[in-house]
Amino acid sequence: MIRKAVILDLYTDEPAGLGVPPYINTWPRLVAGALWVADKDINVKYYAIDTVRADMDSFIKQADRSDILVVIAGIEVPGKYIGGNPGTLEEAERILALIKNPLKILVGPAARHGLGSGGGKIASSRTILGKIFDEIVTGDPELYFHDLVRDGPERADPRRIRNDYRLADEAFIRGSKIITMHPNYGKNLVVEIETYRGCSRFLTGGCSFCIEPRRGKPLQRDARSIIREVEALYRHGARHIRIGRQPDILVYGSKELGEKEFPTPDPEALRRLFHGIRCAAPGLRILHIDNVNPGTIAHHPEESSRALKVIVEYHSPGDVAALGIESFDEKVVKTNNLKVVPDEAIKAIEIINRIGNRRGWNGLPHLLPGINLLYGLPGETKETYRINYEYLKMIYERGLLVRRINIRQVTVLENTPLWIMRDKVRNLLRRHKELFKKYRLKIMNELDKKFLEGVVPPGTILDYLYVEKYVTGMSIARMPGSYPITVKIPCRIEMWRIVSVRTKGVAAKSVTGTPIVETMCL
């Protein structure tokens, strides 16, 4: 019988879903919610790994008194983080070695695809993870934990996959109160919302490196269930929501999702969703999106334009449509079955600019594209680096705004097509190691700053920034939301104060500014 459960969040970062602070992904809510659906009296405690590091002894005592210890992990698309430091395999091993009593269960993308340890790396396989966990949940967690409570560990199948969202919808709602245990609760916490899972490009295999098409045919949630979840989160204090847990927000509600590689967007379905969210949570400060498939815009420019206009009508300014372009080299595009050729990518960037470049209440353009570039993919040559640079330069010279360029090396994950080519990818990454460093710096020094200066010209007033850190004479502040701009303020300001800043200078990845109310400086 399960009376007490402890959830340890090592953080997740996936192609569809952020879970490194200030973000909380869907996994903790699914786990806690499923336990509470099965038995509302179970004592569930949530711990972020940063909290555990600050008081390890207390956590070990709590975990050892529990019946189950659930570890959530999976940094599948790693980046650089200001708000938190993801847990590693070695750290997990050390912690679990100190805990004797509970059943130790692994959940999250690491359970399905191995534990990534950074860009340009091969993930730790599930065979290795199986040595430190009693159970690895490769299926959907709400099914496993519901059965674990009702039927016991012998009958709970960790491989079960959902056919519908009925139990998940209830778990999302019941588990919403888990956000109150997050270290960023009441401050800049951003809650990820799932609208559907799976990628429409599963029909053609999807991108070679990506885990999303491996989920099979896309499965959508009903808009009413999503709205009920947001309402529950809002009642528990959530004020920053990100509709980020899907590979392409534009095709949510499309009747062609799962039937065509590039479904036609349904703008009215998006209107019903976003209007409902605003009615259920009228005091939301931030409502943002994440992934947009550039192929959807290229194949359906009119419907995509209308869908983007709906988002801009209901969201918060400072939003980013993250475009998984991955490469402008057509050889790499073809070899890895990527979403768009260069001309299609440019078309998508132009359309988003036309609709989203008007500035909003917080000083930022409403909606701008973010460009993701990925290196280490089969077909890559030295020429790939030059081609990518030239296209980025051309985008800037055409006067198009880009919120950010995300440059990283591929992480090779189990159960993706790249896994069987991991030795080849490893050699390619090694061979181009210095070339990657050279061009990454070249883009940062020559283009990143120019793009950011277009987004935030000197003298721009930025509103609603949370002070997150103080480092060597600078307070670091950011807005909650999608890919927030880092603002450096040359004085000490109390942690978690909300400030407004007038920008002065622009660097490659950040801006400097002074607070509008100078008395905030300590």
Spatial CB neighbours of 156, under 8 Å, sequence gap ≥ 6? 144, 145, 147, 148
**How far does Cα 441 stand from its chain's mean position?**
24
pLDDT for position 322: 96
Give bridge partners of residue 368 from the DSSP assignment: 320
Q: Region 364-390: what's the mean pLDDT? A: 97
Percent pLDDT > 90 in the chain is: 85
CA 276 to chain centre: 23
Q: Is the pLDDT of residue 350 over 80?
A: yes
- Dihedral of CA 245/248/253/258: which sign? negative
Residue type, 490: P
Separation in Å, CA 276 to CA 25, 169, 225, 282: 21, 16, 10, 10
Question: Where residue 519 falls among pLDDT bands split at 50, 70, 90?
Answer: confident
Q: Which two tokens stand for residue 402?
A: 């880009």
| Per-residue pLDDT, 14 | 86
pLDDT for the residue 131 = 81
Question: What pLDDT, on a 0 to 100 scale, did the predictor assign at position 30?
Answer: 97
For the segment 44-54, the average pLDDT, to the nearest whole number, is: 97
Which whole number is the average pLDDT over 117-128?
Answer: 58
The residue among 75 and 59 whose pLDDT is bigger is 59
pLDDT at 478 over 70: yes
Give the pLDDT confidence score for residue 124 in this predicted structure. 57
Structure tokens of 138?
């490769």
pLDDT band of residue 416 (cuts 50, 70, 90) is: confident
Contacts 24+ apart (CB under 8 A), 40-43: 41/3, 42/2, 42/3, 42/4, 42/5, 42/149, 43/3, 43/4, 43/5
Per-residue pLDDT tens for 96-116? Answer: 999 999 999 999 988 987 765
> pLDDT at position 116, please?
59
Q: Spell out the SS3 assignment of 20-70.
A: CCCEECCHHHHHHHHHHHHCCCCEEEEEEHHHHHHCHHHHHHHHHCCCEEE
pLDDT of residue 77: 76
Percent of the chain clearing pLDDT 70 (strictly above)? 98
What pLDDT does residue 113 have?
78
* pLDDT band, residue 505 (cuts 50/70/90): very high
The pLDDT assigned to 415 comes to: 81
What average pLDDT score do residues 243-271 get?
A: 96
CA 232 to each of CA 29, 180, 191, 237: distance values in angstroms, whole numbers, following the listed order: 12, 12, 12, 9
Rounded Cα distance, 326 and 340, in Å = 9
- pLDDT over threshold 70, residue 126: no
Please tell me the predicted confidence (pLDDT) of residue 215.
Answer: 83
Per-residue confidence band for 118, with pLDDT thresholds at 50, 70 and 90: low
Provide the angle, in degrees to the nearest 10, between the axes of the packed helices 301-314 and 342-356. Answer: 40
pLDDT at res. 112: 85
C-alpha dihedral sign at 47, 49, 51, 56: positive
Helix then strand count (H, E) for the chain reads 18, 21
Give the chain's mean pLDDT: 94
Question: How confident is the model at residue 117, as a pLDDT?
Answer: 54
Question: Residue 121 above 70 pLDDT?
Answer: no
Q: Which two tokens stand for residue 144?
A: 């496993």
d(CA 210, CA 440): 22
Neighbours of 219 (CB within 10 A): 17
Give the whole-angstrom CA distance, residue 300 versus residue 322: 18
As beta bridge partners, residue 197 has 219
Count CB atoms within 10 A of the CB of residue 59. Answer: 21
Bridge partner list, 242? 192, 288
Tell how strand 461-471 and strand 219-220 pair up: unpaired
For residue 465, name the pLDDT band (cuts at 50, 70, 90): very high
The tally of CA atoms less than 13 A away on the side-chain side of residue 373 is: 22
Distances (CA, A) of 408 to 109, 365, 375, 485: 19, 25, 6, 18
- The answer to whether the CB of 108 falls within 8 A of the CB of 74 is yes
What's the rounded Cα separation, in Å, for the pair 493 and 515?
9
- Structural domains of the chain sorted by starting position, each given as residue range(s) with its CATH number in brackets: 4-151 (3.40.50.360), 189-455 (3.80.30.20), 461-520 (2.40.50.140)
Q: Look at residue 317 and tell me whether its pLDDT is greater than 70.
A: yes
